[in-house]
Amino acid sequence: MQTQKILNTDLNPTRIIYGCMNLGNNRNRAELSESEMKREAVKTINAALEQGINMFDHADIYGRGKSEEMFSEIWKEHPGLRDKIILQSKCGIRFTGDPTPDAPHRFDFSYEHIKNSVDEILKRLKTEYLDILLLHRPDPLVEPEEVAKAFDELHQIGKVKYFGVSNHTGFQIDLLKKFVDQPLVVNQLEINLIHSDLINAGVITNQRKPVEFIRGEGTLEYCRLHDITIQAWSPLAVGAFENINDDFSKNLSTVILEIAKNKNVSVEAVIAAWLLKHPAKIQPVIGTRRPEKIKAICQADSLELSRYEWYKLFIAGRGEDLP
Q: Which of 298, 90, 282 lies closest to 193, judged by CA?
A: 282
Question: Which of 78, 165, 166, 158 lies closest to 122 in space, CA to CA?
Answer: 158
HSE, side-chain direction, 13 A CA sphere, residue 235? 30
Of these residues, 18, 62, 162, 222, which one is catalytic? Answer: 62
Q: How far apart are the first and last CA of the chain?
A: 37
φ/ψ of 170, rounded to 5, equals -60, -45
Q: In this structure, are residues 278 and 304 in contact, taking their beta carbons and an 8 Å threshold?
A: no
Reply yes or no on whether 62 is catalytic: yes
Tell me how crowded residue 42 is: count the other CB atoms within 10 A of its CB: 18
Peptide bond into 99 cis (omega under 30): yes
Rounded Cα gap, residues 128 and 161, in angstroms:
11
Residues classed as catalytic: 62
